[in-house]
Amino acid sequence: MNIIITGASRGIGYETAKILSKEHKVISIARSADKNKPTGIIPISFDFEKENIKKDLLPQIKKHFETVDVLMNNAATLVKKPFDEISRNDFEKIFSVNVFAVAELTQAILPLMKNGHVLNIASMGGIQGSVKFSGLSAYSSSKGALITLTECLAEEFKDKNISFNSIAFGAVQTEMLAEAFPNFKAPITAKDAAEFVAQFATTGQKYFNGKILQMALSTP
């Protein structure tokens, strides 16, 4: 399989890329791409907040892949501030990476997919009725938008053999979790989560479409 993973310089994205590269070709996209990746991983440096996807990123992808089997939209950013202090710029930054870039990259990759799987990495914070936390209004609402986008695209492309699913994580021990909850120790490691993600990314489209899988032992 030809697989693209965004936000792959750390955490779940990094661990998933390592696992999948053992049997598949993986393009790893991150702001600071490590050139010393394991065999099977093609690193591409790209900033979703500042650069143009169709102009700057898509040509780099096409150098390596004529077709794409799996697109894992994992890149995300987080701002933790009380709602009365958070600015429009903060909201725009978060939605730019967590929602708009996902939509734009998916649009760019869809023509390269025939029987593909788009897997969007969300958060329990975006699940209606889940526990919410102070300071994460922009982040959680962006993940809620991503979840709804996933469901909409699953319906829109169901006749084209392209599946759209999302995994909504609870607490996984990553650098981003540490930013949001500095003193909290998660019950799931990034490597543990990646083992599930890697399997679901490559096989989940056979059994699921438009589904939001909640992977959480705790919130946070």
Domain assignment present for 39: yes
Q: Please check whether residue 37 lies inside any domain of the structure.
A: yes
Note whether residue 61 is domain-resident: yes
Q: For residue 220, tell me if it sits in a domain.
A: no
Q: Average pLDDT of each block of 10 consecutive residues along the chain (220 residues)?
A: 95 95 96 70 95 97 98 96 97 98 98 97 92 93 98 97 94 72 82 95 97 84
- Ordered strands of the 163-169 beta sheet: 41-45, 25-30, 2-6, 70-73, 117-123, 163-169, 212-215
Cβ atoms of 43 and 37 within 8 Å: the answer is: yes
Q: Which pTM value belongs to this model?
A: 0.93
Q: Is residue 65 part of a domain?
A: yes
Residue 103 within a domain: yes
Q: Give domain status of residue 153, yes or no.
A: yes
Peptide bond into 82 cis (omega under 30): no
pLDDT the model gives residue 36: 53
Contact 28, 194 (CB under 8 A): no
Supply the DSSP symbol for 99: I
Of 169, 170, 164, the closest CA to residue 204 belongs to: 164
- Tell me if 96 is assigned to some domain: yes
pLDDT given for residue 174 in this prediction: 82
**Domain housing 140:** 2-215
Q: Output the domain CATH number for residue 107.
A: 3.40.50.720
Question: How many folded domains does the chain comprise?
Answer: 1
